[in-house]
């Protein structure tokens, strides 16, 4: 088995390896080649910092890396079922980490579904520690609690170009896939909803329509507990079939109470893990 960094020519093999490695994953995930490409671009993938593991010339493992300034992110790591148990993930990190250090990267993070013990163990062996938990929910149309905004507040759809407004009100940093550069790089439609009172924005939400993902929803601290979050969530849910609310900081008491109170059902919890490079 050998590891090496990747190039554009490897993308077909990356796709095939991804499908095989995630064929028995907890959550069904089988993107076509174009969807995988979009995911990689949205998360700032750098193929030259991404590693493949090869056995007799065939790719049996892949670890895709996103890069933004001095931070890097493991977009996915997968090893095909027949090659598991041989510390291939560790070998890919052994290849990756010195190169990232050389390139001035200081932190490498990733997300892993809680309960995926083999993956968590592999990441711990590679020096990662859990920094926070991220809760995920689904909100089906039948479970949406209808909610108008309070008197004097309107919720309007804004051009996606105005999206940064939703970042002003947040208490906690989004995960890599919903950070500002990810939303900016999203190739499908992004809907920004804004709650306005008088002339002032008091809350906002962003929906990534392809994938039906709520990328962010926050209300100005002084405007909370008046039903503005509920109105934004109901409006966000109306944009798609079943809304997926992904990567909500589980330590936020307000968010942890809010989503279930508004009809969302818990889907799973992810660990956000990170290590210094
Ligand atoms: C979660 C959040 C959006 C809720 O907004 P909000 O406008 O206060 O929500 P609502 O007034 O519509 O609350 C609806 C229900 O949620 C629950 N809830 C909301 N905040 C709560 C809190 N702090 N404690 C307990 N329950 C809460 C309640 O059941 C509430 O109904 P009630 O007020 O009748 O009891 C808001 O607290 C927030 O912006 N948090 C930070 C989000 C963030 O930083 N995101 C980062 C990525 S963008």
Residues 21-42: tens digit of each pLDDT: 999 887 778 999 999 999 999 9
What pLDDT score was predicted for residue 105? 98
Q: Is the pLDDT at 161 greater than 70, yes or no? A: no
- Indicate if 67 and 159 belong to the same structural domain: no
User: Is the same domain home to 98 and 157?
Assistant: no
- The answer on 183 and 231 residing in a single domain is yes
Q: Cα separation of 257 and 237, whole Å?
A: 18
d(CA 145, CA 211): 21
User: Worst-scoring range by mean pLDDT, 3-17, 162-176, 235-249?
Assistant: 162-176
Q: What is the 3-state secondary structure (H, E, C) of the chain?
A: CEEEECCHHHHHHHHHHHHHHCCCCCCCCCCCHHHHHHHHHHCCECHHHCEEEEECCEEEEEEEEEEECCEEEEEEEEECHHHCCCCHHHHHHHHHHHHHHHCCCCEEEEEEECCCHHHHHHHHHCCCEEEEEEEEEEECHHHCCCCCCCCCEEEEEECHHHHHHHHCCCCCCCCHHHCHHHHHHCCCCEEEEEEEECCEEEEEEEEECCCCEEEEEEECHHHCCCCHHHHHHHHHHCCCCCEEEEEEECCCHHHHHHHHHCCCEEEEEEEEEEEEC
Return the ligand 1 atom nearest residue 203 CA: 39
Q: What are 82's two structure tokens?
A: 């027949």
Determine the atom of ligand 1 nearest the C-alpha atom of 205.
48
Residues 6+ apart with CB under 8 A from 63: 50, 51, 74, 76, 77, 78, 89, 92, 93, 96
167, 253: one domain? yes
Q: Which tokens go with 275?
A: 């290590």
Residue 276 falls inside a structural domain: no
Residue 259 alpha carbon to ligand 1 centre in Å: 8
Residue 160 confidence class, pLDDT cut points 50, 70, 90: low
CATH number, domain of 207, equals 3.40.630.30
Flag whether 274 is in a domain. no
pLDDT(165) > 90: no
Domain total of the chain: 2
Q: How far apart are CA 74 and CA 67, in angstroms?
A: 9
> End of a domain among 127, 145, 169?
127
pLDDT over 70 (residue 19): yes
Domain that residue 70 falls in: 2-127
Same domain, yes or no: 208 and 105: no
Indicate whether 74 and 146 sit together in one domain. no
Q: How far is the CA of 272 from the centre of ligand 1 (A)?
A: 23
Q: Is residue 123 part of a domain?
A: yes
Is 275 among the domain residues?
no
My answer on whether 97 and 28 are in the same domain is yes
- Of 127, 153, 182, which one is at a domain's C-terminal end? 127
Question: Which band of pLDDT confidence, cut at 50, 70 and 90, is reported for residue 166?
Answer: confident
Q: Are residues 157 and 261 in the same domain?
A: yes
Mean pLDDT of the chain: 95
* Distance set, CA 239 to CA 85, 199, 206, 213, 258 (Å): 43, 25, 10, 10, 19
Q: Is the pLDDT of residue 162 over 70?
A: no
- Does residue 75 share a domain with residue 103? yes
Tell which residue, 246, 273, 271, has the closest CA to residue 133.
Answer: 271
Distance, in Å, from the CA atom of 215 to the CA atom of 234, rounded to the nearest integer, reads 15
Q: 171 C-alpha vs ligand 1 centroid, how far in Å?
A: 11
Average confidence (pLDDT) over 43-55: 98
Which of 39-43, 140-144, 179-183 is the least confident region? Answer: 179-183
Task: Note whether 142 and 255 are same-domain residues.
Answer: yes
pLDDT band with cut points at 50, 70 and 90 for residue 84? very high
84 part of a folded domain: yes
116 shares a domain with 142: no
Residue 240 domain-assigned (yes or no):
yes
166 Cα–ligand 1 center, Å? 15
Give the nearest ligand 1 atom to 167 CA. 48
For the record, the structure tokens of 251 come out as 């330590």
pTM: 0.94
- Predicted local confidence at residue 168, as pLDDT: 87
Question: Are 146 and 199 contained in the same domain?
Answer: yes
Within a domain: 277: no
Choose the final residue of a domain: 127, 157, 176.
127
């Amino acid at each position: 088995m050998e590891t090496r960094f990747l190039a554009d020519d490897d993308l077909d093999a990356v796709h095939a390896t991804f499908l095989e490695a995630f064929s028995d994953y907890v959550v069904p995930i089988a993107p076509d080649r174009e969807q995988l490409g979009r995911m990689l671009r949205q998360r700032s993938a750098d193929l030259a910092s991404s590693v493949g593991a090869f056995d007799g010339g065939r790719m049996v493992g892949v670890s895709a890396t996103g890069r933004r300034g001095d931070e890097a992110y493991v977009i996915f790591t997968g090893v095909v079922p027949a090659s598991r148990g041989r510390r291939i993930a560790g070998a890919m990190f052994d290849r990756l980490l010195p190169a990232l250090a050389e390139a001035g990267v200081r932190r490498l993070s990733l997300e892993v579904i809680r309960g995926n013990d083999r993956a968590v163990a592999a990441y711990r062996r590679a020096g990662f520690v859990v920094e926070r938990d991220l809760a995920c929910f689904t909100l089906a149309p039948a479970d949406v609690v209808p909610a108008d905004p309070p008197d004097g507040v309107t919720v309007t759809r804004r051009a996606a170009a105005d999206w940064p407004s939703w970042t002003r009100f947040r208490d906690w940093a989004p995960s890599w896939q919903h950070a500002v550069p990810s939303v900016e790089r999203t190739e499908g439609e992004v809907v920004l909803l804004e709650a306005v009172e008088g002339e002032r924005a008091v809350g906002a939400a962003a929906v990534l329509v392809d994938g039906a993902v709520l990328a962010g929803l926050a209300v100005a601290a002084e405007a909370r507990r008046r039903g503005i979050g509920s109105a934004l969530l109901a409006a966000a849910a109306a944009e798609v079939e079943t809304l997926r609310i992904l990567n909500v900081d589980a330590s936020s008491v307000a968010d942890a109470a809010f989503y279930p109170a508004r009809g969302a059902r818990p889907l799973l919890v992810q660990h956000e893990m990170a290590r210094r490079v």
